Amino acid sequence: MAEDHKHLHVAMFPWFAMGHLTAYMNFSNKLAEQGHRVSFLSPSKPHPLISTLNAHPHLITLIHVPIPQVPGLDPSIQTTADFTDFKTERNLLATAFDRTAPFIESFLHESKPDVVFHDFSHWLPQIARTNQTLAVAFFTVSAACLAQTLIQKEKADQVLRPPPDFPGASVRLRKHEIRQAVTLLKEGFGDGRSIRERIVNVVTSSDAVAIKTCRELEGHYLDYIEKHSNQVVLTAGPTLPVPPSAPLEEGVATWLGKFRPKSVIFCAFGSQCVLPLDQFQELVLGIELTGLPFLIALKPPAEAESLEAALPEGFKQRTEDWGMVTGEWVQQQQILGHESVGCFVTHCGSGSLTEGLISECQLVLLPFMGDQYVNARVMGEDLRVGVEVEKGDEDGLFDRHGVCKAVKQVMDMEDGVGKEVKMNHDKWRNVLLTPGLEKSCVAEMVGKLKELLLPVKV
C-alpha cells in the first residue's frame, strides 16, 4: 500500500513535443526535490537536452521509448521539433506515439510505479489500472486553456458563446482563432480522434487531473474544471525551471554586454512556430522600427531557403551594429536573465510564459496557435502583465506598426500601459517566486495521490 512508504515511484509519459517534455522534466525535478523517484519515458533523440534540465539524476532516470515505424514517417522524426510538414507529420507521430502502448504496458507491468503522469495517451489509463498504477492526466497548458478546451463545440457560434458560468470574461477568441479551433476539432490526430476528443477522453478516463499552475494564479478556472469534469483536480505549482547551471554562451553574452540595462528586445517563438515569409518580415521590420537593440531567434519561413534569405532587403546592413538574428537554438532562460534584456516578444507557449513571468522583462504577446491564444488573453487582459500585438480579427495578420506599438507601450515604464503591466508583472513574479509555494503545491498533491492510491495498491 502507498501508506507503507514515504516516497513514491512516479512515471512520466508526455506527448513527444519539447514544450511538454521540458515541462514534465521541470515537474520531475520538483518531485525529486522531495525524495520521490521518477522514471522519465521519452524518445532518445531529446535525451541530451532533457538531461541538461535534470537536476536530480540520482532520482530521475531517463528511459528510452522506441518509436515504432509508421509508413510515411521519417525515422529521424522523434519529436514535433523535427517536423518540416507540421500537419502531416504531427498525425503520423501521433500514430507512432499510440503504437508505443505495448512498450508502456510492459514497463508498467515490470516496474510497477505508484503513479503515471500523461497527457495525450487516452489508452494509458486502462493499462495503468490493470497494473495497479494510478493514471493522472498532467496538463502543461494553463487551467484557463483546459477550461476553454472542455467547453469548445464543433460550431463557431457555440465557441463564441461560452456558458454563463465560465469564469474568464476576458478569455474570448477572435474570429480567425475560432475558425482555426473549429478546423482543429475536425482533424484526425493519430487514430482519428481530434486533439479535443483526445484531451476530453484523457480527462474523463484518468484517476485525477493535475495542472501546471497554482490556485493563487488560476483558482477560478480550477474550480470550473473540477465542476465540469467531475474529477479530482490537483495543482503541480507553476513548475518553475531550475536555474540554469551553464553560463550564457560567451559570444551572445559579449554582444548583449554592449548595450545599456533593460534596453534589448529578445524575440523567440519556440521550436515549432514557423511564420509565413510576409509575417516574418513584418515582425523583424516592426522590431527594427522601435530603434532598440534586439536579439531575434526564429525558425526560417518555409518559403525561404535560409533565415538570412528571408530578411527584408537592406535589413542586415541597417541593423548590423545593434541587431542579431539567428535560427539556432538559444539559451532562453539565460538570455531573459541578462541585465541588458528588457523586453520579451513571445508566442505565448506555456513554458516560455513561465520563464517570462519570472524574469524582469516586459512582455509583448504574439500568439499563433492553439493554447497560445488563451494564454495571451489571460496574460494581456485578465492578469494585465503584458501587451498583445494587434491583429486583424478576420485574417489574424499583424503588421510592423502593431509590433512597434506594442513594444513601445511596454518599454515606456514611466507612465500608462507600460507602468501598469510592470506593476502587475512585479506582483505576479513575487507570487510565483514566493519561498515554499511550489514545495507546498507538490506536497499537497503527493498527499492527495497517496489517498487515491489506498484503494488501488491493496
Catalytic residue, candidates 20, 118, 122, 425: 20
Residue 39 falls within a domain, yes or no? yes
The yes-or-no answer on residue 347 being catalytic is no
pLDDT digits (tens, 9 = 90+) for 80-96: 888 887 778 888 999 99
pLDDT band at 169 (very low <50, low <70, confident <90, very high): low
pLDDT, position 192:
72
What cell numbers appear for 251 in the block? 559570444
The answer on 283 and 155 residing in a single domain is no
Question: Which runs of E-coded beta strand occur in 310-372?
Answer: 323-326, 341-346, 362-365
177 lies in some domain:
yes
* SS3 state of residue 83: coil
CB atoms within 10 A of CB 354: 22
Q: Alpha-carbon distance 396 to 391, whole Å?
A: 5
Whether residues 308 and 425 share a domain: the answer is: yes
CB 72 within 8 A of CB 94: no
For 106, residues 6+ apart whose C-beta sits below 8 A from its C-beta are: none
pLDDT in tens, 368-388: 987 899 899 999 998 999 999
pLDDT the model gives residue 269: 93
Helices assigned H by DSSP within 34-155: 47-53, 86-98, 101-111, 124-130, 143-151
Which grid cell sits at 427? 506582483
pLDDT value of residue 272? 76
Q: Which among 98, 119, 371, 382 is annotated as catalytic? A: 119
Task: Give me the pLDDT at residue 243, please.
Answer: 84
Give the least confident one: 3-7, 225-229, 263-267: 3-7
What is the predicted pLDDT for the residue at 51?
94
* 420 within domain boundaries: yes
pLDDT at 172 > cutoff 90: no
* Interval 407-412 mean pLDDT: 96
Domain harbouring 260, CATH code:
3.40.50.2000
The predicted structure's pLDDT at residue 457 = 52
For residue 153, pLDDT beyond 60? no
Q: 351 and 386: one domain?
A: yes
Q: Are β-strands 115-118 and 9-13 bridged in parallel, bridged antiparallel, or unpaired?
A: parallel
User: What pLDDT does residue 160 have?
Assistant: 53
Supply the pLDDT for residue 241. Answer: 85
Q: Do both 47 and 99 map to the same domain?
A: yes
Range from 63-77, 146-160, 413-427 carrying the lowest mean pLDDT: 146-160
Query: Is 119 part of the annotated catalytic residue set?
Result: yes
Pair (260, 202) in one structural domain: no
Indicate the length of the chain as a whole number.
458
- Burial bucket for residue 417 (CB in 10 Å: 0-12, 13-18, 19+): middle
pLDDT digits (tens, 9 = 90+) for 277-313: 999 999 999 999 999 999 999 999 989 888 999 999 9
* pLDDT grade for 3, boundaries at 50, 70 and 90: very low
Beta bridge partners of 325: 296
Question: What's the pTM value of the predicted model, to 2 decimals?
Answer: 0.86
Tens digit of pLDDT for each residue in 384-400? 999 999 999 889 999 99
Could you give the CA distance from residue 308 to residue 301 in angstroms, rounded to a whole number?
A: 10
Long-range pairs for 360-364: beta carbons < 8 A, 24 or more residues apart: 360/262, 360/429, 361/262, 361/266, 361/336, 362/386, 362/410, 362/411, 362/413, 362/418, 362/421, 362/422, 362/425, 363/387, 363/410, 363/421, 363/425, 364/388, 364/389, 364/403, 364/406, 364/407, 364/410
In total, how many domains does the chain have? Answer: 2
Q: Are residues 217 and 268 in the same domain?
A: no
SS3 336: helix
Q: What is the pLDDT of residues 312-367, one digit of tens each?
A: 999 999 999 999 999 988 999 999 999 999 999 999 998 899 999 999 999 999 99
Structural domain includes residue 58: yes
pLDDT in tens, 4-61: 468 999 999 999 998 899 999 999 999 999 999 999 999 999 999 899 999 999 999 9
172 plus 44 within the same structural domain:
yes
What does the mean pLDDT of the chain come to?
90
Full residue range of the structural domain in which residue 306 is found: 250-433
Is 458 within a domain? no
Q: Are residues 162 and 259 in the same domain?
A: no
Query: Is 450 domain-assigned?
Result: no
Cα separation values, 324 from 72, 218, 378, Å: 37, 37, 30
218 and 255 co-located in one domain: no
Pairing mode, strands 9-13 and 37-42: parallel
Q: What is the pLDDT of residue 198?
A: 87
Last residue of a domain, one of 207, 239, 271: 239
What pLDDT does 458 receive?
A: 43
Residue range 243-254: mean pLDDT, rounded = 90
Is residue 152 scored above 70 in pLDDT?
no
Position 270 scores a pLDDT of 83
The answer to whether residues 225 and 264 belong to one domain is: no
Q: What is the pLDDT of residue 136?
A: 98
> Is residue 456 within 8 Å of residue 108, measured between CB atoms?
no
> Are residue 174 and residue 315 in the same domain, yes or no?
no
**pLDDT, position 2:** 43
210 and 264 assigned to the same domain: no
Buried b (16+ CB within 10 A) or exposed e, 26-49: bbbbbbbeeebbbbbbbbebbbee
H helix count then E strand count, the chain: 20, 13
Supply the pLDDT for residue 331: 93
